[in-house]
Amino acid sequence: MNYDQLRHLADSWGLVMMAVMFITFVGWTFRPGSARRLDEAANLIFKDGVDDKAD
């Protein structure tokens, strides 16, 4: 394969694959049942309850 063929492949199928992956990732986060796990992950840094404020 030469450069032009690889460029054409990347322009066509590469774009399609990136679009499919983007839609999959966005759909994965908004799927039913994921809200609880995402809320737990968002609040994970507050789990210990240690206040490290510098006075």
Contact 29, 38 (CB under 8 A): yes
**pTM greater than 0.85 (yes/no):** no
**Does residue 30 lie within any of the structural domains?**
yes
pLDDT of residue 32: 87
Looking at the domain assignment, is residue 55 inside a domain? no
* DSSP collapsed to 3 states, 20-45: HHHHHHHHHHCCCCCHHHHHHHHCHH
Give per-residue pLDDT as tens, 25-38: 999 888 888 888 88
The pLDDT, as a whole number, for residue 53 is 66
41 located within any domain? yes
Contact 34, 28 (CB under 8 A): yes
Domain count, the chain: 1
Domain with 35 in it: 21-46
Residue numbers of the chain with a pLDDT score lower than 70:
50-55
pLDDT at 21: 98
Is 7 within the bounds of a domain? no
Q: Write out the H or E segment, with its range, that includes residue 8.
A: helix 3-9
For the chain, the first-to-last Cα distance in angstroms comes to 64
For residue 39, tell me if it sits in a domain.
yes
